[in-house]
Chain A
């Protein structure tokens, strides 16, 4: 069965490489040139690597959170909205709170995690009170989050930028003060090691240890695998699921704050600040089979596709081809697991 799985994976990975190449060739481009561009844009030089690492950080944070919730059985698929809420709360804290020095950055990150955690917890609450399906409510809350952020950045007394002279105010917030921004680690010519990635890796390791080594993680895993047995063993499945969901929301919120305070954004809250990191992070967790440490390299791979894809788009290749590659790669890793589950039933 695993052999079949590996075989299926290999075929789909091959398809992920060959199919976009064919598409490029059909549309009159050169597949080899496109591949070169993809690599050039993600790993080609120090600047490209910096960009890739920048993307990896929020992807990883979202993915690690998704690992938590998926393992507990409370499937959170609303990360995109939680990223937005995190960015919103981070921007509000960074622009409104008078915290001195770099402590402001810490406050921004915490505010984002708390707000998005609370946002996700609402889904746990609805599930507990009315039995609302968690996957459905987290997903729908994403659209609500988009509206909330759009409202905040178009409403002058909320977070819309201050008007300068006669220029019309854009739907975005003011720029965060520079002391609230994530800096770079060390001093390397051309290469930026943004602090965001360090945050992501530390969180991934902490969560991996928590899931695999602590009583909390054991309970969470058990609740996810067999709720009835977990209840019998003294575990409140709804409570464990609620906590996992909150943690996963908080980490997505943290990803939102990283987006807001790193060079990935203009350091202003904008309606499209989440740039699909929530969705992609979910895919990272899926491919990593809910293992936080495995999510580190997978987040790197998805970051390569993102950074390289942007560069590729600049060379005239349609950017959706990168999405096709991403989708096929995800399928390649997820399909065998699904096949395995089916064969168990049969």
Chain B
């Protein structure tokens, strides 16, 4: 007799008012498999997982756990049933040590020695190298991910849900993570749900894959029997032309007219401690330059400097030949530098303000008189931007929080470009976006360059760099360690230039 599946969902339906988030979804998770779950933002993946975690209740449909029908009433019960999730956004406490974070949320007395030994043992068993005494705040994204995973595994879950686990990881870290997950399913017979937008990951790391579109399952297949192109098509519902996402290395776009000699953005000797070490980089009008490197080599510090969040210890930023006074808030924006930051929720948007307000917040002067904000002008301008950038929102007055990741990204891009900047910096621009949104984003970035804007793309994704840029600079430990035309770049050369390995 075949063993019962670890989890079986039958006909799960969930409506929010008129919107059907999940429409009769069937999903079977076998023990010992990694199951890929693919779908655009808003396709219903999150709702489905929220139902599994007991954060939502389905309107109809049934859930079997090991063949027994269960109703999941809340997160605690989900945990008791052995369903556990590693969230996309880390839920770690920075000032605490690794072992303290792992012990958080566990009931009963916390014994330091026991927890630390447990962390060590688990780290060894799964090959998750981590020092239990390290402060979480000092860890890289990859290491934090390990802590999250350890936290989850300590609860001994039968079903482990990973929500876009690699969105902040380097390739090497991702590969490591998948190796760990493979051990977890093979040796311990757990089931893993891997939610991802990255098709290459789904095809290499999963055993079976389910694609959801608009709340319905549109494809369910053994991973070996499908292709990235097919998955992309099923997910979006049409052919997509995004080279990178379907794994076809595209030709780098023809270099735009040899960039004008005028440097639109010039970074000279930028130094922050920690983070950047005498970083120099020039971007000309009309070109797209990629800054490639493994996570944690100073990209975040650079993003913070260019967002005006940190003042560098040394060095200057010049926009169109004029140095910018980085101590003045908003100086970069005023000088003509737009930025789509890596962590949109941190510096890009104000989640509790309306969509319209987020669209105008850097250029409030344009929609107000001396003293008063002109609501009518504000709305008119926001409406124009929303139309131009294809932002779909329930209403421009609803809080930004209610928008999908792709639409939030578009809000930031629309706002930053509305100031007609000379320079646009996009940090990890496709992070958390689905294929359709990425396609749209790439087209817009290319259009920016052809309009004469200097574009700097900071990315850890090789495919992104190759698909988008005309020139690539590599960053390692806060310094530029190599620079070459993208046409001459390939994984191997760039790998060598980024310090060999992550």
Contacts and interface: CB of A to CB of B under 8 A. Distances in A.
22 contacts: A213-B373, A213-B375, A214-B371, A215-B368, A218-B357, A218-B361, A225-B350, A225-B353, A226-B347, A226-B351, A228-B347, A229-B347, A229-B361, A230-B350, A233-B329, A234-B329, A234-B331, A234-B334, A234-B362, A236-B329, A237-B329, A346-B75
B408 interface: no
A contacts with B: majority SS: helix
A222 B362 contact: no
A125 interface: no
A3 interface: no
Contacts of A221: 353
B470 interface: no
A228 B346 contact: yes
Size category, A interface: 20 to 34
Interface string A209-240: 00001111111011001101111111111000
Interface string A291-305: 000000000000000
Contacts of B371: 214-216
B372 A231 contact: no
B307 A232 contact: yes
A216 B371 CA distance: 7
B329 A225 contact: no
B361 A233 contact: yes
Given A232-B362, A346-B75, A225 B330 contact: no
Contact of B333 (A215, A225, A226, A232): A232
Given A229-B350, A232-B309, A232-B347, A222 B361 contact: yes
Nearest to A217: B373
Contacts of B333: 232-234
B330 A232 contact: yes
B368 A231 contact: no
Contacts of B352: 225
Contacts of A237: 329
Given A229-B349, A232-B308, A234-B330, A215 B362 contact: no
Nearest to A231: B329
Contacts of A232: 307-309, 329-330, 333, 339, 341, 347-348, 362
B256 interface: no
> Chain B CB within 10 Å — which of A216, A226, A232, A346 has the most?
A232
Given A215-B368, A228-B347, A229-B361, A235 B353 contact: no
A215 B364 contact: yes
Nearest to A240: B329
B369 to A, nearest CB: 9
Nearest to B347: A228
A213 B352 CA distance: 17
B55 interface: yes
Given A225-B351, A231-B347, A232-B362, 20 more contacts: A213-B373, A214-B368, A218-B357, A222-B350, A222-B353, A226-B347, A229-B347, A229-B349, A229-B350, A232-B309, A232-B330, A232-B341, A232-B347, A232-B348, A233-B362, A233-B364, A234-B334, A235-B329, A235-B330, A346-B75
Interface in A188-226: 213-219, 221-222, 225-226
A230 B330 CA distance: 9
Contacts of B353: 221-222, 225
Nearest to A209: B372
A214 B372 CA distance: 4
Interface residues of B, number: 31
Interface string B146-157: 000000000000
B351 to A, nearest CB: 7
A161 to B, nearest CB: 45
B373 A218 contact: yes
Nearest to B364: A215
Contacts of A230: 329, 350
Interface in A222-260: 222, 225-226, 228-237
Contact of B348 (A213, A216, A229, A231): A229
A217 B368 CA distance: 12
A218 B368 CA distance: 11
Contacts of B55: 346
Interface of B: 55, 75, 307-309, 328-331, 333-334, 339, 341, 346-353, 357, 361-362, 364-365, 368, 371-373, 375
A24 to B, nearest CB: 39
Contact of A215 (B347, B351, B373): B373
A140 to B, nearest CB: 24
Contacts of A225: 350-353
Contacts of B375: 213
A215 B372 contact: yes
Nearest to A219: B364
A232 B306 CA distance: 9
Nearest to B343: A228
B494 to A, nearest CB: 30
Contacts of B331: 234
Nearest to B334: A234
A213 B328 CA distance: 25
Across the A-B interface, the 6 shortest Cβ-Cβ residue pairs: A234-B330, A228-B347, A226-B350, A233-B362, A225-B350, A231-B329
B397 to A, nearest CB: 13
Contacts of A231: 308-309, 329-330, 347
A260 B197 CA distance: 66
Contacts of A235: 329-330
Given A222-B361, A346-B75, A233 B330 contact: yes
Contact of B372 (A213, A222, A229, A233): A213
B321 to A, nearest CB: 21
Contacts of B308: 231-232
Nearest to B330: A234
A214 B307 CA distance: 25
Contacts of A226: 346-347, 349-351
Given A225-B353, A229-B348, A214 B330 contact: no
Contacts of B75: 346
A228 B362 contact: no
Looking at A213, A222, A225, A226, the one whose CB has the most chain B CB atoms below 10 A away is A226
Nearest to B341: A232
A233 B330 CA distance: 5
A215 B331 CA distance: 18
A214 B329 contact: no
Contacts of B329: 230-237
Interface in A128-158: none
A84 B309 CA distance: 38
A215 B365 CA distance: 8
A214 B378 CA distance: 12
A215 B377 CA distance: 13
A346 B372 CA distance: 38
Nearest to B91: A345
A228 B309 contact: yes
A256 to B, nearest CB: 29
Most A CB contacts (10 A, CB to CB) among B329, B349, B371, B375 go to B329
A219 B368 CA distance: 12
Interface string A273-306: 0000000000000000000000000000000000
A221 B365 CA distance: 16
A158 to B, nearest CB: 41
B46 to A, nearest CB: 14
